């Protein structure tokens, strides 16, 4: 069967997108998803996203990691599916869509950047060597003096597989503080099992961890990833309950085509 696909990226975090409103979503099993995301044999991407009908929202987002398994929430993918829905004519500037973790509000700004509301975060788990935060996806955040020379693949994979994170493991973020509310980030993503050029839920987790760590009154953060710049804003109560969390950044169309699956 031949399908039409679209390629988008959010700050270098790239995705194969499929309009599944008239295509059976069950065609996309883990073998086919893995093939489509393979950078040598398929299209190549960090993940695959299906856009589906949803009676409770304007559309539904179903996200798969590049290993073929359905994933948790993806912040950069969430912004990309909003751009995709706009390009398909489903939405205009504002939308509400559903993801695996619930409903998400989003707005396409006049600048072209896309603002995406994330789920609330109730508490940060402080660990001896970092912080564990659930932002729609589980993230471990560790702060380092410099991240440019870190072997993210090796060290991230080792941390991701540690027994303390149980069978599901975790995403791993290495963060370097530039100023009180500006930092650099590099992320090892589970499911991709490698470093990605950016991670939206990781940027949110890192901003919240930075706020929690510094006990600051700052609630707006700039995050420099390898593939681009993201920003995170939130409201906080008691330095541990985070709400009204917004992730803003680019979402770009790359190309489209047809492929036989």
Catalytically annotated residues: 74, 199
Q: Which residues have C-beta within 8 Å of that of residue 90, sequence separation ≥ 6?
A: 51, 58, 59
How open is the CA angle 83-88-94, to the nearest 5 degrees?
50
Backbone angles phi, psi at 34, to 5 degrees: -60, -40
* Alpha helices (H) along 182-252: 200-214
3-state SS assignment for residue 32: helix
> Residues with Cβ < 8 Å from 217, sequence gap 6 or more?
none
CA-based nearest residue to 192, from 43, 14, 6, 27: 14
Q: Which residues pair with 252 in a beta bridge?
A: 9
Chain CA centroid to CA 152, Å? 18
Strand 252-260 versus strand 2-10 pairing type? antiparallel
Give CA–CA dist 241/238, Å, rounded.
6
How many other CB atoms sit within 10 Å of the CB of residue 70? 15
> Pick from 29, 95, 42: which is nearest to 68 by CA?
29
CA angle 85-88-94, nearest 5°?
40
């Amino acid at each position: 069967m031949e399908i039409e696909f679209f390629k988008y990226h959010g700050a270098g975090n790239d995705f194969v997108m499929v309009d599944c409103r008239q295509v059976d979503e069950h065609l996309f099993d883990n073998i086919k998803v893995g093939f489509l995301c393979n950078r040598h044999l398929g299209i190549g991407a960090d993940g695959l996203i299906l856009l589906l009908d949803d009676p409770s929202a304007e559309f539904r987002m179903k996200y798969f990691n590049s290993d073929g398994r359905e994933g948790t929430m993806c912040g950069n993918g969430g912004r990309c599916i909003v751009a995709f829905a706009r390009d398909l004519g489903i939405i205009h500037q504002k939308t509400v869509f559903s993801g695996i973790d619930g409903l998400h509000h989003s707005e396409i700004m006049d600048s072209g950047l896309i603002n995406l509301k994330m789920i609330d975060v109730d508490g940060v788990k402080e660990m001896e060597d970092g912080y564990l935060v659930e932002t729609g996806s589980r993230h471990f955040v560790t702060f380092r003096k410099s991240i440019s020379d870190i072997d993210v693949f090796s060290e991230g994979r080792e941390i991701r597989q540690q027994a303390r994170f149980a069978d599901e493991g975790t995403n791993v973020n290495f963060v370097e503080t530039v100023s009180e509310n500006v930092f650099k980030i590099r992320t090892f993503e589970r499911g991709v099992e490698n470093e990605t050029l950016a991670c939206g839920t990781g940027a949110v987790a890192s901003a919240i961890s930075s706020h929690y760590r510094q006990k600051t009154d700052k609630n707006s953060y700039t995050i420099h990833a390898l593939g681009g710049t993201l920003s995170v804003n939130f409201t906080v109560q008691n330095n541990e309950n985070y709400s009204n969390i917004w992730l803003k950044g680019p979402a770009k169309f790359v190309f489209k085509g047809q492929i036989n699956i």
